[in-house]
Amino acid sequence: MKRKSNFLAGLAMAMLAVTGFAQDPNIINHPGFVNLDEIPVPPDAAEVTEVDIGPELLGGMASMFSGEKHAEIGKELEGFLSIRVKTFNIDSMMTLKLRPVMEKMEQKLNRENWKNIVRVRKGREMTNVSVKYDKRHKRPMGLFIMSVEPGSEASFVNIVGSVDLGKLSQMGIDMNPNTLDSLKDAMEQ
């Protein structure tokens, strides 16, 4: 998960260096938005990465990559409205404190009809990948990833917009083939 969050963080920081657009305040009303501010960062965390890229910046990024050489990247970014990443290191105590926060987040997603497409639990280590799907328009509206490696790192990623898991894997974010099958199942329900 660290490699995935580092990729998104790196992409975001590179784009922020090129242009300086602010987050669209209306994005919080989008069904694919997850409020990462509800996830506390420990005050003593030595390593913290927070990225918040809104629609204006993503639109600018898509047009920046419109040339022949990078046209595919620009096309892949067109459906994204927001990319938010929150990653921080955690110790064993914070791992225990984070568990109820994650369970609360999971319950909220369930109430809002998010489909949990990947759920991995290995001891206290966990990774969840959830998608918000618009059945009427037959398209995803958001993707949310939360992952905790006890005593190491916690990562949370929210991508708002038309999220194509296949494109995410092409951009270097590994998605297990079972994830794609789970998304197809969710779309057919």
Confidence of residue 85 (pLDDT cuts 50, 70, 90): very high
Residue 2 is predicted with a pLDDT of 53
Q: pLDDT per residue over 95-133, tens digit each?
A: 888 889 999 999 999 999 999 888 888 888 889 999 998
Residue 14 is predicted with a pLDDT of 43
Query: Residue 9: pLDDT above 90?
Result: no
Residue 27 is predicted with a pLDDT of 85
Residue 121: burial class (beta carbons within 10 Å; 0-12, 13-18, 19+): exposed
User: Would you list the domain boundaries of the chain?
Assistant: 2-188
Confidence of residue 139 (pLDDT cuts 50, 70, 90): confident
* Residue 163 CB neighbour total at 10 angstroms: 24
Average pLDDT on 3-9 reads 52
Q: Hey, what are 102's tokens?
A: 């994650």
* Residue 126 CB neighbour total at 10 angstroms: 19
Average pLDDT on 160-170 reads 66
Query: Residue 164: pLDDT above 50?
Result: yes
- What pTM was computed for the model? 0.71
